[in-house]
Chain A
Amino acid sequence: MSAARTMSAARTLHRARAGLPGLLVLLALAAGLVSMISVAVSGHPPASQAQQVQQIAAGLHCPICKDLSVADSPAPLAQQMRQEIAQKLRAGESADQIRAGFVAAYGESVLMSPPRRGVAGMVYFLPLLVLAAGLITAVTLLRRWLRAPRPEPPGAGPPQLSAAQRRAVARAVARLREEEPG
Protein backbone atom coordinates (compact mmCIF):
# COMPACT_ATOMS: atom_id res chain seq x y z
CA MET A 1 0.00 0.00 0.00
CA SER A 2 2.78 2.34 1.03
CA ALA A 3 4.80 1.41 -2.04
CA ALA A 4 1.79 2.13 -4.24
CA ARG A 5 1.38 5.51 -2.61
CA THR A 6 5.06 6.30 -3.16
CA MET A 7 4.76 5.29 -6.82
CA SER A 8 1.67 7.48 -7.27
CA ALA A 9 3.40 10.48 -5.67
CA ALA A 10 6.44 9.97 -7.90
CA ARG A 11 4.21 9.84 -10.99
CA THR A 12 2.45 13.06 -9.94
CA LEU A 13 5.80 14.80 -9.38
CA HIS A 14 7.05 13.60 -12.75
CA ARG A 15 3.92 14.90 -14.47
CA ALA A 16 4.27 18.28 -12.73
CA ARG A 17 7.91 18.54 -13.79
CA ALA A 18 7.06 17.64 -17.37
CA GLY A 19 4.36 20.35 -17.50
CA LEU A 20 6.55 23.10 -15.98
CA PRO A 21 8.17 24.40 -19.24
CA GLY A 22 4.74 24.65 -20.87
CA LEU A 23 3.40 26.55 -17.86
CA LEU A 24 6.35 28.97 -17.99
CA VAL A 25 5.76 29.61 -21.69
CA LEU A 26 2.08 30.27 -21.00
CA LEU A 27 2.97 32.68 -18.18
CA ALA A 28 5.44 34.54 -20.43
CA LEU A 29 2.83 34.82 -23.17
CA ALA A 30 0.25 36.09 -20.70
CA ALA A 31 2.71 38.68 -19.34
CA GLY A 32 3.49 39.86 -22.90
CA LEU A 33 -0.20 40.11 -23.73
CA VAL A 34 -0.94 42.08 -20.56
CA SER A 35 1.91 44.54 -21.26
CA MET A 36 0.77 44.99 -24.90
CA ILE A 37 -2.81 45.66 -23.77
CA SER A 38 -1.66 48.14 -21.12
CA VAL A 39 0.46 50.04 -23.69
CA ALA A 40 -2.46 50.05 -26.15
CA VAL A 41 -4.89 51.30 -23.51
CA SER A 42 -2.67 53.93 -21.88
CA GLY A 43 -0.98 55.05 -25.16
CA HIS A 44 2.44 56.63 -25.44
CA PRO A 45 3.41 59.45 -23.12
CA PRO A 46 2.93 62.86 -24.78
CA ALA A 47 6.01 63.83 -26.79
CA SER A 48 7.78 67.10 -26.09
CA GLN A 49 7.82 69.72 -28.84
CA ALA A 50 11.43 68.89 -29.70
CA GLN A 51 10.46 65.23 -30.04
CA GLN A 52 7.49 66.18 -32.22
CA VAL A 53 9.76 68.29 -34.46
CA GLN A 54 12.15 65.35 -34.70
CA GLN A 55 9.32 62.93 -35.54
CA ILE A 56 7.88 65.14 -38.28
CA ALA A 57 11.34 66.00 -39.67
CA ALA A 58 12.24 62.30 -39.76
CA GLY A 59 9.31 61.72 -42.12
CA LEU A 60 10.42 64.37 -44.62
CA HIS A 61 13.12 64.19 -47.29
CA CYS A 62 15.72 66.94 -47.19
CA PRO A 63 14.98 68.54 -50.61
CA ILE A 64 18.58 69.42 -51.41
CA CYS A 65 20.23 66.24 -50.09
CA LYS A 66 20.53 62.69 -51.35
CA ASP A 67 18.63 60.18 -49.22
CA LEU A 68 18.68 62.15 -45.98
CA SER A 69 15.73 63.11 -43.88
CA VAL A 70 15.19 66.66 -42.67
CA ALA A 71 15.95 65.36 -39.17
CA ASP A 72 19.34 63.95 -40.19
CA SER A 73 20.52 66.62 -42.63
CA PRO A 74 22.93 69.36 -41.56
CA ALA A 75 22.00 71.48 -44.63
CA PRO A 76 20.82 75.03 -43.86
CA LEU A 77 17.54 74.42 -45.74
CA ALA A 78 16.84 71.36 -43.56
CA GLN A 79 17.61 73.44 -40.47
CA GLN A 80 15.14 76.03 -41.73
CA MET A 81 12.57 73.30 -42.28
CA ARG A 82 13.01 72.14 -38.68
CA GLN A 83 12.57 75.71 -37.48
CA GLU A 84 9.45 76.07 -39.58
CA ILE A 85 8.05 72.81 -38.17
CA ALA A 86 8.66 74.12 -34.63
CA GLN A 87 7.00 77.45 -35.45
CA LYS A 88 3.96 75.73 -36.94
CA LEU A 89 3.65 73.43 -33.92
CA ARG A 90 3.75 76.48 -31.65
CA ALA A 91 1.06 78.05 -33.84
CA GLY A 92 -1.14 75.01 -33.13
CA GLU A 93 -0.86 73.14 -36.43
CA SER A 94 -1.06 69.37 -36.31
CA ALA A 95 1.63 67.06 -37.71
CA ASP A 96 -0.63 66.20 -40.66
CA GLN A 97 -1.22 69.88 -41.45
CA ILE A 98 2.52 70.58 -41.34
CA ARG A 99 3.26 67.64 -43.63
CA ALA A 100 0.49 68.77 -45.98
CA GLY A 101 2.13 72.22 -46.16
CA PHE A 102 5.43 70.75 -47.32
CA VAL A 103 3.66 68.41 -49.74
CA ALA A 104 1.85 71.42 -51.25
CA ALA A 105 5.20 73.05 -52.06
CA TYR A 106 7.34 70.02 -52.87
CA GLY A 107 4.90 67.31 -53.87
CA GLU A 108 4.57 63.87 -52.32
CA SER A 109 8.21 63.10 -53.09
CA VAL A 110 9.09 65.13 -49.97
CA LEU A 111 7.64 62.34 -47.82
CA MET A 112 10.08 59.65 -46.70
CA SER A 113 7.33 57.00 -46.97
CA PRO A 114 5.00 57.05 -49.95
CA PRO A 115 1.34 57.75 -49.14
CA ARG A 116 -1.05 54.80 -48.86
CA ARG A 117 -3.28 56.05 -51.67
CA GLY A 118 -3.01 56.68 -55.39
CA VAL A 119 -0.35 55.09 -57.59
CA ALA A 120 2.26 55.37 -54.83
CA GLY A 121 -0.01 53.32 -52.56
CA MET A 122 0.63 50.32 -54.82
CA VAL A 123 3.98 49.96 -53.04
CA TYR A 124 2.03 48.71 -50.02
CA PHE A 125 -0.71 46.69 -51.71
CA LEU A 126 0.99 45.17 -54.76
CA PRO A 127 3.27 42.78 -52.81
CA LEU A 128 0.24 41.49 -50.88
CA LEU A 129 -1.71 41.02 -54.12
CA VAL A 130 1.21 39.18 -55.73
CA LEU A 131 1.57 37.00 -52.61
CA ALA A 132 -2.15 36.20 -52.61
CA ALA A 133 -2.07 35.39 -56.35
CA GLY A 134 0.98 33.15 -55.80
CA LEU A 135 -0.71 31.30 -52.93
CA ILE A 136 -3.92 30.79 -54.91
CA THR A 137 -1.93 29.49 -57.89
CA ALA A 138 0.14 27.17 -55.67
CA VAL A 139 -2.94 25.75 -53.90
CA THR A 140 -4.80 25.28 -57.22
CA LEU A 141 -1.86 23.48 -58.82
CA LEU A 142 -1.27 21.33 -55.73
CA ARG A 143 -4.92 20.24 -55.59
CA ARG A 144 -4.89 19.46 -59.30
CA TRP A 145 -1.73 17.35 -58.96
CA LEU A 146 -3.09 15.47 -55.95
CA ARG A 147 -6.42 14.73 -57.66
CA ALA A 148 -5.07 13.57 -61.03
CA PRO A 149 -4.75 9.74 -61.32
CA ARG A 150 -1.17 8.62 -61.52
CA PRO A 151 -0.38 6.86 -64.79
CA GLU A 152 0.73 3.28 -64.14
CA PRO A 153 4.19 2.37 -65.33
CA PRO A 154 4.29 0.12 -68.41
CA GLY A 155 4.28 -3.59 -67.47
CA ALA A 156 2.55 -3.08 -64.12
CA GLY A 157 -0.64 -5.07 -63.33
CA PRO A 158 -1.85 -8.38 -64.72
CA PRO A 159 -0.78 -9.11 -68.31
CA GLN A 160 -3.53 -8.81 -70.88
CA LEU A 161 -3.85 -12.13 -72.75
CA SER A 162 -5.76 -12.87 -75.87
CA ALA A 163 -8.41 -15.66 -75.95
CA ALA A 164 -6.02 -17.95 -77.86
CA GLN A 165 -3.26 -17.34 -75.34
CA ARG A 166 -5.67 -18.03 -72.46
CA ARG A 167 -6.69 -21.29 -74.15
CA ALA A 168 -3.05 -22.28 -74.62
CA VAL A 169 -2.32 -21.58 -70.94
CA ALA A 170 -5.36 -23.66 -69.87
CA ARG A 171 -4.20 -26.54 -72.06
CA ALA A 172 -0.69 -26.37 -70.58
CA VAL A 173 -2.06 -26.38 -67.02
CA ALA A 174 -4.31 -29.38 -67.76
CA ARG A 175 -1.41 -31.27 -69.28
CA LEU A 176 0.73 -30.59 -66.23
CA ARG A 177 -2.05 -31.82 -63.94
CA GLU A 178 -2.40 -35.02 -66.00
CA GLU A 179 1.32 -35.64 -65.76
CA GLU A 180 1.33 -35.22 -61.99
CA PRO A 181 1.80 -38.53 -60.25
CA GLY A 182 -1.12 -39.75 -58.06
Chain B
Amino acid sequence: MSGRLTRRRVRLLAGVGAVVAVIVVLLMTGLGKDPSVIASPLVGRAAPNFTLPQLDGPPVTLAKLRGQIVVINFWASWCTECQVEQLALDQTWQQFRDSGVVVLGVDFEDSTDAARSYVRTDGVAYPVVEDSSSKTALAYGLRGVPETFVVNSSGRIVKHVIGPVGGAALTSDLNSMLARAQ
Protein backbone atom coordinates (compact mmCIF):
# COMPACT_ATOMS: atom_id res chain seq x y z
CA MET B 1 0.00 0.00 0.00
CA SER B 2 2.71 2.40 1.03
CA GLY B 3 4.77 1.31 -2.00
CA ARG B 4 1.84 2.15 -4.29
CA LEU B 5 1.40 5.48 -2.59
CA THR B 6 5.09 6.27 -3.02
CA ARG B 7 4.94 5.39 -6.71
CA ARG B 8 1.91 7.62 -7.10
CA ARG B 9 3.71 10.46 -5.33
CA VAL B 10 6.76 9.96 -7.52
CA ARG B 11 4.56 10.11 -10.62
CA LEU B 12 2.83 13.27 -9.34
CA LEU B 13 6.15 14.93 -8.54
CA ALA B 14 7.50 13.96 -11.98
CA GLY B 15 4.43 15.50 -13.65
CA VAL B 16 4.69 18.74 -11.66
CA GLY B 17 8.45 18.83 -12.35
CA ALA B 18 7.86 18.41 -16.09
CA VAL B 19 5.34 21.28 -16.16
CA VAL B 20 7.71 23.52 -14.17
CA ALA B 21 10.60 22.59 -16.49
CA VAL B 22 8.57 23.50 -19.58
CA ILE B 23 7.62 26.88 -18.06
CA VAL B 24 11.25 27.57 -17.06
CA VAL B 25 12.51 26.70 -20.56
CA LEU B 26 9.87 28.95 -22.16
CA LEU B 27 10.77 31.82 -19.83
CA MET B 28 14.50 31.38 -20.37
CA THR B 29 14.03 31.29 -24.14
CA GLY B 30 11.90 34.42 -24.06
CA LEU B 31 14.08 36.31 -21.60
CA GLY B 32 17.17 35.59 -23.69
CA LYS B 33 15.72 37.52 -26.61
CA ASP B 34 16.03 41.25 -27.14
CA PRO B 35 12.41 42.45 -27.25
CA SER B 36 13.35 45.37 -29.49
CA VAL B 37 14.70 43.04 -32.19
CA ILE B 38 11.72 41.49 -33.91
CA ALA B 39 12.34 39.33 -36.95
CA SER B 40 10.76 40.76 -40.07
CA PRO B 41 8.09 38.55 -41.63
CA LEU B 42 9.22 39.92 -44.99
CA VAL B 43 12.46 37.90 -45.06
CA GLY B 44 12.06 35.26 -47.75
CA ARG B 45 9.22 37.16 -49.42
CA ALA B 46 9.15 39.45 -52.43
CA ALA B 47 10.41 42.93 -51.59
CA PRO B 48 7.57 45.49 -51.76
CA ASN B 49 8.03 47.58 -54.88
CA PHE B 50 8.35 51.35 -54.75
CA THR B 51 9.10 54.31 -56.95
CA LEU B 52 10.65 57.15 -54.98
CA PRO B 53 12.20 60.46 -56.00
CA GLN B 54 15.96 60.63 -55.78
CA LEU B 55 17.57 63.50 -53.87
CA ASP B 56 19.72 64.34 -56.86
CA GLY B 57 18.62 62.35 -59.86
CA PRO B 58 15.72 60.59 -61.54
CA PRO B 59 13.17 58.55 -59.52
CA VAL B 60 14.19 55.02 -58.60
CA THR B 61 11.86 52.03 -59.09
CA LEU B 62 12.89 48.88 -57.23
CA ALA B 63 11.34 46.55 -59.83
CA LYS B 64 13.65 48.05 -62.46
CA LEU B 65 16.66 46.89 -60.46
CA ARG B 66 15.60 43.22 -60.79
CA GLY B 67 18.61 41.07 -61.65
CA GLN B 68 20.84 43.03 -59.27
CA ILE B 69 21.34 42.67 -55.55
CA VAL B 70 19.89 45.72 -53.79
CA VAL B 71 20.92 46.87 -50.32
CA ILE B 72 18.08 49.09 -49.11
CA ASN B 73 19.16 51.19 -46.16
CA PHE B 74 16.56 53.26 -44.30
CA TRP B 75 18.23 56.22 -42.64
CA ALA B 76 17.72 59.88 -41.62
CA SER B 77 20.00 62.89 -41.22
CA TRP B 78 18.95 63.23 -37.55
CA CYS B 79 19.85 59.61 -36.79
CA THR B 80 23.17 59.31 -35.00
CA GLU B 81 23.37 55.53 -35.39
CA CYS B 82 23.08 56.00 -39.15
CA GLN B 83 26.38 57.89 -39.12
CA VAL B 84 28.03 54.81 -37.56
CA GLU B 85 27.23 52.64 -40.59
CA GLN B 86 27.81 55.34 -43.20
CA LEU B 87 31.42 54.40 -43.95
CA ALA B 88 30.59 50.69 -44.26
CA LEU B 89 27.78 51.39 -46.73
CA ASP B 90 30.00 53.71 -48.79
CA GLN B 91 32.77 51.11 -48.91
CA THR B 92 30.26 48.41 -49.91
CA TRP B 93 28.98 50.61 -52.72
CA GLN B 94 32.50 51.32 -53.95
CA GLN B 95 33.52 47.66 -53.72
CA PHE B 96 30.45 46.04 -55.32
CA ARG B 97 28.89 48.65 -57.63
CA ASP B 98 30.50 47.02 -60.68
CA SER B 99 29.49 43.50 -59.56
CA GLY B 100 25.71 43.93 -59.84
CA VAL B 101 25.08 45.35 -56.37
CA VAL B 102 23.15 48.56 -55.73
CA VAL B 103 23.22 50.34 -52.40
CA LEU B 104 20.14 52.52 -52.03
CA GLY B 105 19.56 54.92 -49.16
CA VAL B 106 15.91 55.64 -48.27
CA ASP B 107 15.52 58.86 -46.30
CA PHE B 108 12.90 58.46 -43.56
CA GLU B 109 10.99 61.21 -41.73
CA ASP B 110 13.41 63.90 -42.75
CA SER B 111 13.46 67.21 -44.58
CA THR B 112 14.88 67.32 -48.08
CA ASP B 113 17.29 70.11 -47.17
CA ALA B 114 18.63 68.28 -44.12
CA ALA B 115 19.04 65.07 -46.11
CA ARG B 116 20.78 66.85 -49.00
CA SER B 117 23.11 68.66 -46.60
CA TYR B 118 23.98 65.36 -44.87
CA VAL B 119 24.68 63.63 -48.19
CA ARG B 120 26.95 66.43 -49.34
CA THR B 121 28.77 66.91 -46.05
CA ASP B 122 29.34 63.23 -45.37
CA GLY B 123 30.08 62.39 -48.97
CA VAL B 124 27.37 59.76 -49.43
CA ALA B 125 28.20 58.33 -52.85
CA TYR B 126 25.34 55.86 -53.40
CA PRO B 127 21.87 56.93 -54.60
CA VAL B 128 19.47 58.25 -51.98
CA VAL B 129 15.69 58.44 -52.37
CA GLU B 130 13.11 60.24 -50.25
CA ASP B 131 10.18 58.45 -48.61
CA SER B 132 8.39 61.63 -47.60
CA SER B 133 5.01 59.91 -47.09
CA SER B 134 6.59 56.97 -45.16
CA LYS B 135 4.53 54.61 -47.35
CA THR B 136 7.61 52.59 -48.26
CA ALA B 137 8.68 52.48 -44.61
CA LEU B 138 5.28 51.05 -43.69
CA ALA B 139 5.44 48.52 -46.53
CA TYR B 140 8.78 47.32 -45.18
CA GLY B 141 7.52 47.18 -41.59
CA LEU B 142 10.03 49.77 -40.43
CA ARG B 143 10.38 50.21 -36.66
CA GLY B 144 13.08 52.87 -36.72
CA VAL B 145 16.34 53.84 -38.38
CA PRO B 146 18.75 52.54 -39.37
CA GLU B 147 17.32 49.35 -40.81
CA THR B 148 18.73 47.53 -43.82
CA PHE B 149 17.14 45.00 -46.17
CA VAL B 150 19.17 42.95 -48.66
CA VAL B 151 17.15 42.00 -51.75
CA ASN B 152 18.51 39.27 -54.01
CA SER B 153 18.55 39.35 -57.80
CA SER B 154 15.14 37.62 -57.88
CA GLY B 155 13.60 40.44 -55.87
CA ARG B 156 13.31 38.54 -52.57
CA ILE B 157 14.36 39.92 -49.22
CA VAL B 158 17.11 37.65 -47.92
CA LYS B 159 18.39 39.65 -44.96
CA HIS B 160 17.11 42.24 -42.53
CA VAL B 161 19.40 44.16 -40.18
CA ILE B 162 18.06 46.31 -37.35
CA GLY B 163 20.59 48.93 -36.26
CA PRO B 164 23.90 49.85 -37.87
CA VAL B 165 25.01 47.36 -40.47
CA GLY B 166 28.47 45.83 -40.08
CA GLY B 167 30.77 46.26 -43.07
CA ALA B 168 32.44 42.84 -42.74
CA ALA B 169 29.14 40.97 -42.35
CA LEU B 170 27.59 42.80 -45.31
CA THR B 171 30.64 42.11 -47.49
CA SER B 172 30.54 38.44 -46.55
CA ASP B 173 26.82 38.18 -47.33
CA LEU B 174 27.21 39.90 -50.70
CA ASN B 175 30.20 37.75 -51.65
CA SER B 176 28.31 34.55 -50.90
CA MET B 177 25.23 35.79 -52.78
CA LEU B 178 27.33 36.71 -55.80
CA ALA B 179 29.14 33.35 -55.64
CA ARG B 180 25.79 31.51 -55.61
CA ALA B 181 24.56 33.57 -58.56
CA GLN B 182 27.52 32.55 -60.71
Contacts and interface: CB of A to CB of B under 8 A. Distances in A.
A77 B138 contact: yes
A77 B41 contact: no
B171 interface: no
A77 B109 contact: yes
B59 interface: no
Given A63-B142, A104-B41, A84 B135 contact: yes
Contacts of A158: none
Contacts of B67: none
Contacts, number: 44
B65 to A, nearest CB: 20
Question: Chain B interface secondary structure, helix, strand, loop or mixed?
Answer: loop
A19 B138 CA distance: 65
B38 interface: yes
Place the interface of chain B in its size category: 10 to 19
A124 interface: no
B139 A105 contact: yes
A63 B141 contact: yes
Best-surrounded residue of A76, A81, A105 (most CB of chain B within 10 A): A105
B134 A77 contact: yes
B42 interface: yes
Interface in B103-158: 109, 133-135, 137-144
A76 B134 contact: yes
Interface of B: 38-42, 48, 109, 133-135, 137-144
Given A63-B141, A77-B138, 14 more contacts: A76-B134, A77-B142, A80-B137, A84-B135, A103-B41, A105-B41, A105-B138, A105-B140, A105-B141, A106-B38, A106-B141, A107-B38, A107-B39, A107-B141
Q: Give the top 3 A-B pairs by smallest Cβ distance, nearest first.
A: A105-B141, A80-B134, A106-B141
